[in-house]
Chain A
């Protein structure tokens, strides 16, 4: 029989305000095996932990139940505490009477009853707990950064700087991400390329960093410290190590009508292209959807022109597997598609553009060399209307409920730059609120209004109608309560930003959790903001939520420090709560291996002969405890129940259920 101690935490008033903690302790003391029960204001505090330690010694406890917050919060804390006085840490169970009880109930009586039931279930489980010993696993001292935008670049540079190897997997032919498309950066108005391209060069030249451009992650196996990642290197039909990036092929290719995605389709490129002059790696890529040679087998101009002999039309996608200790997700964002917002006539007029398109139109590396003209007739616009919050803070289904955070500032920047470069242009900005929290941000906004005479109007644009060569803008000014009609030459829409579409499937590969907006969730929103709840997976940049460049760089650096902290360890203590197979019951049917997300299960044919039966060979499952993460998929999939989980055995769970249903 176990000697169990029960410790009920008040969590200040978090629990105690809704749960009668004294009653919980008193009632649980009546449970079989419970020899000690008490309550305290903060169990996780030093005094609280000492209380547990003292009780273990004084009462000769063999098991401990803590009724407190979620085990995700403090299970590790309490395990450490009991281990300090010689108890096996897996003899402790946490009953969650905060998140699953006090926080969601109002009625004290009901909440108290539920807390008692949850505590009783934990006591029932402890009765069946057995000491478990965690193994150790080595750490692969290399990091993978998925996404080569500014977040990925900064993170990789910082990790490499600490002496660890980093691989960047970037799905585009070049690293750099969105920042390469941006003209100037707020609030200092320094040129985006000027601050980014040196970092891109650093990444390319750093001997600890390897760039897999035009590549995608296609599989992830393993666990923290020991990930095996499958990387698909998409065929670019150009030998990366031979191409010198001279660009001759990109001038001679006869296929000229390829939409140029670097300029967001505002102009065209050739079927063989280098995205932009500062691309890293600076090698050409053939767009297989447009290349005449690849489609019809007739052309071959680039191959003839290439003096280095880098063109290879027979190139295939390459699949490789690499080992990593840590994975950083920096998959970034995209502006949302504006098809569903047709009141702004985005699909009806080429002169209605998104802010990112406007960025290209203003940029020296853009389609017009930085000379702002209307896409339709190449005339300078005289009246420009900016519309903020297009799809952000939206209650309609096609929009996003969140604030995209960067739009107020870049719209302000666009407006200011327009007025600066083309002083005879009238600029209107329609806003719901102008949000400028950030160092020197509000000053920047004030300058746009006060020094540059940008017309900021609180209110939303109701409709944009192309009429002749004008865009009729109908809007309301909420402060004067007037209806406005503006004949604009251009309309710029600050489209909401959303997580890149590759993020959701990636999250599944990584078993990392996401919120409803497809942003990766943090292990703790405040205290562990750059870690995913999945151990060994870290978050940087807009993959975690909308943020601007300074914030992204800050977060990437924080993320790198967490990665370095992990890679600096030689060993990680494993999780002893792993699956194991009862060979006498295993059928060898492979169901468990089919569902195992970690590839921890293998089969061997073993001899189960008893002397008089002759030989009996049976195929049975065996679990590699170093690879198993204890998710339990196999235990529920196994038809005969041969698979069971240490620490969460079927028996333990059933006894908890029985205790709850009692």
Chain B
């Protein structure tokens, strides 16, 4: 796949259709891969696409689409939802991006591989239901369901939203996804248990802002947490509860716009399951306003900013036991 992508990128660069390529390159280790922009064909030697390329590149296209010339972007299905949502919010100039959809069969989570005692990772490839991990000690085989990141195990869609061309096979929306199971589990807790759960998780937060900075829904020119007029920023020093509020406010801010790409949890150095906050909102929106997938439809108003006569009344919170 990687070679075919590079070849196609070179073609498009050569015929002048695009002037840059958005993709991924290796970091210090083969598994710490980061999104990268390649300015010419020569730079593409660093282009990589493998089972560690989980990073969502759509957010980078905000700035890239402001520059001169068109950029080629390879988007995985989940990236394409974020991309379409950004289009809806007028954050990306669609004319400046040439989108090639690429399939994704689930990306590996390095932490899970390490937890299996596999160290010295040099590379990864996919073989049926297993990942073959190349290490300095030789090849190791690990079942995909044991090594895949949580968001891929509960993948919502292998189908893209808005692409100019597809490479490889287009997939399907996965109606069977179990992505809300963990949320349902939390909902079944008593309020006290749930509070303890989140206090436990969020107390580890070091406010590195990685979740905010990677999030394709957090694209404000200036974040409300950095805005002195919001009167929020100076609360950080005043309360140890602040990091909890940060995540809750952030979840509110992206409610209805979060496409559930799972980047927040992927980048969290403290392994806080932040995506569960967003999924709770998505689940609630689905239940209260009907099925809705952010990014799936570029023209539709999202339920949080739309009013219909059938909307539930605020009393629904009470009816669902939210007062307890």
Contacts and interface: CB of A to CB of B under 8 A. Distances in A.
Interface in B219-260: 219-224, 227, 229-231, 253-254
Highest count of chain A CB atoms <10 Å: which of B91, B231, B254: B231
A640 B91 contact: no
B229 A594 contact: no
Contacts of B254: 639
Contacts of B229: 582, 641, 644, 649-651
Contact of A639 (B66, B224, B231, B307): B224
A640 B224 contact: yes
Nearest to B62: A587
Interface in A98-128: none
10 contacts: A585-B227, A588-B89, A589-B90, A590-B89, A619-B90, A637-B304, A640-B220, A641-B229, A642-B222, A655-B231
Contact of A640 (B223, B304, B305, B309): B223
A641 B304 CA distance: 17
Interface in A586-605: 586-591, 594-595, 603
Given A590-B90, A619-B90, A585 B305 contact: no
Contacts of A588: 89-91
A642 B227 CA distance: 9
A587 B91 contact: yes
A616 interface: yes
A639 B90 contact: no
A505 interface: yes
B309 A508 contact: yes
Interface of A: 505, 508, 582, 584-591, 594-595, 603, 616-619, 637, 639-642, 644, 649-651, 654-655
B309 A505 contact: yes
Interface of B: 66, 89-91, 219-224, 227, 229-231, 253-254, 301, 304-307, 309
A587 B220 contact: yes
Nearest to B252: A639
Highest count of chain B CB atoms <10 Å: which of A508, A603, A640, A644: A640
Contact of A584 (B219, B221, B304): B221
Contacts of A644: 229
B224 A654 contact: no
B90 A585 contact: no
B227 A640 contact: yes
Contacts of A618: 221
B221 A640 contact: yes
Contacts of A603: 90
Contacts of B304: 637
Contacts of B227: 585, 640-641
A651 B234 CA distance: 12
Contacts of A589: 89-91
A489 B220 CA distance: 75
Contact of B219 (A587, A590, A654): A587
Given A616-B66, A640-B223, A649-B229, 4 more contacts: A640-B220, A640-B224, A642-B222, A650-B231
B301 A594 contact: yes
B230 A587 contact: no
B305 A637 contact: yes
Contact of B231 (A508, A584, A595, A651): A651
A220 to B, nearest CB: 13
A640 B254 CA distance: 11
Nearest to A608: B221
B306 to A, nearest CB: 7
Contacts of A616: 66
Contacts of A505: 309
A585 B301 contact: no
Nearest to A638: B224
A586 B227 CA distance: 12
B305 A591 contact: yes
A346 to B, nearest CB: 29
A585 B91 contact: no
Main secondary structure, interface of B, reads loop
A280 to B, nearest CB: 31
A585 B222 contact: yes
B309 to A, nearest CB: 6
Contacts of B219: 587
Nearest to A592: B305
Contacts of B309: 505, 508
A310 to B, nearest CB: 35
Nearest to B68: A614
Contacts of B224: 639-641
A641 B221 contact: no
A581 to B, nearest CB: 12
Contacts of B307: 508
The 4 A-B pairs with the shortest beta carbon distances in the complex, nearest first, are A640-B220, A594-B305, A654-B231, A589-B89
Contacts of B253: 639
A278 B48 CA distance: 82
B305 A595 contact: yes
A607 to B, nearest CB: 12
Nearest to A582: B229
A587 B89 contact: yes
B226 to A, nearest CB: 9
A642 to B, nearest CB: 8
Highest count of chain B CB atoms <10 Å: which of A587, A639, A644: A639
Contacts of B220: 585, 587, 639-640
Contacts of B305: 591, 594-595, 637
Nearest to B306: A594
A505 B230 CA distance: 35
Contacts of B301: 594
Contacts of A642: 222
Contacts of B89: 587-591
A662 to B, nearest CB: 13
Contacts of B223: 640
A498 to B, nearest CB: 18
Highest count of chain A CB atoms <10 Å: which of B220, B221, B223: B221
Contacts of B230: 641, 650
Nearest to A637: B305
Contacts of B306: 594
Contacts of A594: 301, 305-306
B30 to A, nearest CB: 36
A649 B229 CA distance: 9
B250 to A, nearest CB: 10
A644 B306 CA distance: 21
Contacts of A617: 66
A416 B152 CA distance: 79
B89 to A, nearest CB: 4
A594 B306 CA distance: 7
A584 B301 CA distance: 25
B96 to A, nearest CB: 12
Contacts of A619: 90
Highest count of chain A CB atoms <10 Å: which of B219, B222, B253: B222
B66 A585 contact: no
A209 B49 CA distance: 72
B235 to A, nearest CB: 9
A232 to B, nearest CB: 16
A219 to B, nearest CB: 12
A331 to B, nearest CB: 16
A588 to B, nearest CB: 5
A589 B224 CA distance: 15
B275 to A, nearest CB: 19
Contacts of A590: 89-90
Contacts of B91: 587-589
B281 to A, nearest CB: 14
A159 B230 CA distance: 48
A595 B301 CA distance: 10
A206 B66 CA distance: 60
Nearest to B219: A587
Contacts of B221: 584-587, 618, 640
B222 A640 contact: yes
Highest count of chain A CB atoms <10 Å: which of B220, B227, B306, B307: B220
Contacts of B222: 584-585, 640, 642
